[in-house]
Amino acid sequence: MLSWATIGVGIAIVAPQVVLAPLRGEPAVQDARAEPDRGRAFYFTRVIYTDWYQSQGGRGRFGRGSWSVDWPKADIQFVMGLTHLTNLDAYEEDNLIRFDDPEIRRFPFVYALEVGYMNLTDSEVLGLREYLMAGGFLVIDDFWGLREWYNFEQQMYRVFPEYPIVDIPMDHAVMHAFYEIDEILQVPARGRGINFGRPTWEDPSDTVPRVRGVFDDEGRLIVIINYNTDLGDAWEWAEDPWYPLDKANFAYQLGVNMIVYAMTH
């Protein structure tokens, strides 16, 4: 018979393990990277990249790396919406990959966020460059203010020194690929979205939401950059009754448009 004291000690030992388990990074990521169901038309694929903390020998921002924000709920919940809204034969689970993993070529669409802390290794730079040149498509999300912008811009310059980052005009095909989008809304993080009256931006140095892009020599859009906005949080918390519906709606619409555009252009 276990005494209450023994149970209490047990809980005291086990509870931190359970709570901290996601922060340990690699083991949980490896589990999630089990071989996905093969033969589906689309896999919502999130990129595991190296952040500044990891490049300094740390375990990464948030314990796993800045890539992992909103993962996996945002990914899975967005795919649920995607399959309901379109005819897409999409894989229902999350899917993780690294830029320097040759298997990334199986997934012509990848998503990365919190790139204000991105610090790619040389092999990741090369992997991303060749991936995009071969026909891949990258969507960037959830980074705020000029400091983070400059960091991302520097990382992209390492990948494509020859291609500038430019604003995507509102008459571009990606804005009309499925839904007709005629305005760029700022999609706030959950905390700012449900706090009435507070600004929805996160860094006062630059507050305007922008959708920018990188085009290759043939004029093909290969990277979409969602700056000063957080589509991922809207995907993750769309079921929250306090989260602004118009912002969630916009996030899903832009997400669907980006995927349909990538698959058809």
Partner 1 sequence: MFEFFFKYRPIVFQQGDLVFESPVPIWVLVLGGMVLAGVGVMTYVKGRRGLERRNRIILSALRIVTIAVLVFALSRPMLVIATIVPQQNFLGILIDDSRSMGITDRGDEPRGQFVYDQFGPEGSQLLSALSDRFQLRFFKFSESMNRLGDVSELTFAGARTDLATALDKARLELAAVPLAGLVVVTDGADNGDASLSEAILQLQADGVPVHTIGLGTERFAKDIEISRIEAPRRVLLGSAVAVDLTVNQSGFDRQTVKLVVEDEGRILMTQQVELPSGGEPTTVRVHFNADEIGSRLFKFSIAPADDEVVRENNELETLIRVDDSRKNILYFEGEPRWEIGFLRRAVADDENVRLLVMMRAAENNFRRYGVESPDELEAGFPRTREELFRYDGLILGSVEASFFTPDQLRMIAEFVEVRGGGLLTLGGRWAYAEGGYAGTPVGDALPVVLERPAESEGRFFAELDVRPTPFGLTHPVTQLGPTPEESKDRWSELPALSTLNLIREVKPGATTLLTARAAGVSGDVVVLAYQRYGRGKSISFVVQDAWFWQMHADIPLEDMTHETLWRQMLRWLVDGVPDHVSVVTEADRVSPNTPMTVTAVVTDSGFLHLNGAEVVATITGPSGTSQDVPLEWTVRRDGEYRGVLTPTEQGRHEIQVTSRYNGAVVGTGTSHVEVGDLGAEFYGAEMQADVLKHVAAETGGRFYTPETVETLPEDVSFTESGTSVFEERDLWDMPIVFLLLAATLGAEWIYRRQRGLP
Binding residues vs partner 1 (CB under 8 A) = 38-39, 41-42, 85-89, 102-106, 108, 130, 133-136, 177-178, 218, 220, 259-260, 262-265
Tokens linked to 168: 């995507």
Name the minimum Å distance from CB 41 to partner 1: 5
Q: Is 216 helix (H, G, I), strand (E, B) or coil?
A: coil
Least spacing, CB of residue 104 vs partner 1, in Å: 8
Token code pair at residue 114: 């919190």
Please count the other Cβ atoms lying within 10 Å of the Cβ belonging to residue 127. Answer: 24
State in angstroms the smallest separation of the CB of 242 from partner 1. 29
CA distance 46 to 110: 6
Nearest approach, Cβ of residue 114 and partner 1 (Å): 26
Nearer to partner 1, 153 or 216 (CB): 216
Which residues are CB-neighbours of 170 under 8 A, at least 6 positions away? Answer: 181, 182, 183, 184
Nearer to partner 1, 137 or 243 (CB): 137
- Cβ nearer to partner 1, comparing 85 with 194: 85
Q: Beta-carbon neighbour count of residue 89 at 10 Å? A: 10
In one-letter notation, the amino acid at residue 84 is H
Q: Judged by CB, which is closer to partner 1: 129, or 212?
A: 129
Helix axes 122-134, 145-159, angle to 10 degrees: 70
Before 16, cis peptide (omega within 30)? no
33-38-39 Cα angle (round to 5)? 145
We find the least distance from the C-beta atom of residue 232 to partner 1, in angstroms, to be: 21
Instruction: Pick between residue 99 and residue 152 the one whose CB is nearest to partner 1.
Output: 99
* Cβ-based nearer residue to partner 1, 106 or 198: 106
Beta bridge pairs of residue 139 = 111, 224
Shortest spacing between CB 83 and partner 1, in angstroms: 10
**What's at 161, amino acid-wise?**
P
